[in-house]
Structure 1
Amino acid sequence: MGARIRAARESAGMTQAQLSEALGFADRQTLSTIENGDRRVQAAELVRASQVLGHAIDWFIDPFVVTGEARFSWRVAQTVPDALLDEFESRIGQLVGLMRHLKVALHGPSRALTPMLRIPPHPTFEDAWAWGEAVAQELELGTIPSEKLVDHIERKLDISVLFIDAEVAMDPKDISGAMCRLSDLGVIVINRQESTVRRNFDVAHELFHALTWDAMPPDRRDPSDQPAGKRVPRIEQLADNFAAAVLMPKATLDKLIPQEHLTDAAYLASVARELQVSTGALAYRLLNAKMIDKSICDALREVYTPKARTEMPKLLSASFATLLHDGIAHGHVSARKAAKALSMRLDQLAELMTEHGKAVPFSM
């Protein structure tokens, strides 16, 4: 609860001294011990904090709220105001908090050891390519890495991948993805309404942040629509180069592209379709791997590829649907509380269960 009080205080623009005075504390040290988790909040103090900070008491005691604990890095359009992103982040935070609650209730505490990349002090793009190649091999992604990427991230790395609807403003694609980091849980969030190639690249991009967060924490906002000519932050360039190597490792490129076809832009475009990546992503990957020259890179980028109709992933994930089903069935959460955390009605929660092939473990 201390972390939530700190988050609410900072959101309100108050110092510890100001809130301490409003709560009637003799000094700010009392508040500091509360925020650090060294002292419990008394009932009367919580009521007063609720009034001063403008949050309902339920917000402070809700087991699914992760405000103050979770850190997010969003791939979001610059046109999305911070206030809208704050609201959306709060909704996704509830979803993540529910997932954490159910994972602990059903399977116990998370793994004590978490995977991370060994990062030198000043990493280069060559480092990012090498990491991507190594991760693709470590995860056993095979010849077409995009096909197994999500499943193997969840099973081998214990990092959850959730597909969401991200309609925060006028455009349902204003947010393409995010990485959410808690001390005991990592969650990659992907907009399921994006194209297949964009989803694949975003998953691999966010995986970089998941594996490097402690050494290279990303900014909260990573503009998904960076204007031409504006410098992209170094960490995001590294993430993009890592993602390219994960989805297009050298062994795959050598296998799918005979030497005589390295100058055939149309053939290379067909390989991009097979790998489920954009022609631009493949073009730069081949150029960086020194397999093609700049003229072929430019030609490949300009190949027209009609948008193929692709099947949208099911909402959230099969593993999360299983958690929800088992958690409700075993009494770890009520159907109504789960639906509220997911911003759903009960009938929508039932529909989610059915979509993922689960029996509905509650009556309406």
Structure 2
Amino acid sequence: MTQVYNFSSGPAVLPRDVLLTVQAEMTDWHGSGMCVMEMSHRGKEFTQIIHEAEADFRKLLNIPANYKVLFLQGGAHFNFSMLPLNLATESSAVDYVDTGHWSRIAIKEARRYAKVNVVASNEDRNGTYVPDEASWKRSDNAAYLHYCSNETIGGVEFQHTPDSGDVPLVCDMSSNILSRPLDIARYGLIYAGAQKNIGPSGMTLAIIREDLLGKARAGTPTMMDYQVHAAADSLYNTPPTFAIYVAGLVFKWLLNNGGVGAMEARNIEKASLLYETIDNSNGFYNCPVERPFRSRMNVPFRLADEALDDAFLEGAQAHGLLQLKGHRSVGGMRASIYNAMPLEGVRALTEFMRDFARSK
């Protein structure tokens, strides 16, 4: 098969070694005679799979013992609702930082359940930066402070962890979790959809400090209570077993390749190469994001002459460079270069970009 590089924003590329392991184990997991998709989620085989996945995930992020790791369903969208239902009341103030599309969806959903205070927004500069913390207008008694660490569509990424003081810090880390080391102890809750840096779609991981459990308001649906899932070790109901299995393989791949520290170094190298190509193109390409806030995971860029967009995408496709069209809400191009994207893929993309620019 011809080599291709998939720059999709999610569901996204998975490590080839992981896919080969899945292929080899598809009909017979470790001599059990069963595919993981056929196993009882309460049997000894799957119990081993989920326990190893959690242990490896904890090791990768050095997660303290007083935090629960939850394997949930429903995607990050589900957590947009779970969060205020579990950590706030109808009369609570909840603080949100608005840095783009996914922040705004989270804010819209939270307004159904609590009093949202938008502490800062980047809409004044078309969503191209992270507002300085000194300008944030925080509530006096917020139940939590929420932010999205990496906006997949806009390509804006926090390069630091906000200081929330005694207020629980909550983060949607769907598109950059496991891409760099974290100090988990600074957070109350982290949640992340799996389909970018973890595994297949349909699963979300949550890391929640134990003192925040058991506070769901009356009337919260059972399946939306973090405490219910924590008490059952993510097995309250049938979990996304195959997604957990693949995620576990991704965690082992990360550990075998140096962990998140090594991933960060690789991600910096890949992003630097792509941004340098854009910035050194004499205006042929441009990135709308202000430089200090550029994402290492999702790189949006435009051609100065948008009439060439279709030709660019067709040429890229012919060179095995897939899924480069920007989100429908913003247009242009976007290259998502998550952990599983090899440096060779970014080199192939930048070579094509330079050749395409020279030919026009």
TM-score between the two structures when normalised by the length of structure 2: 0.24
Larger helix fraction of residues: 1
Q: Which has the higher contact order (CA 8 A, sep 6+)?
A: 2
TM-score between the two structures when normalised by the length of structure 1: 0.24
The structure with the largest alpha-carbon Rg is 1
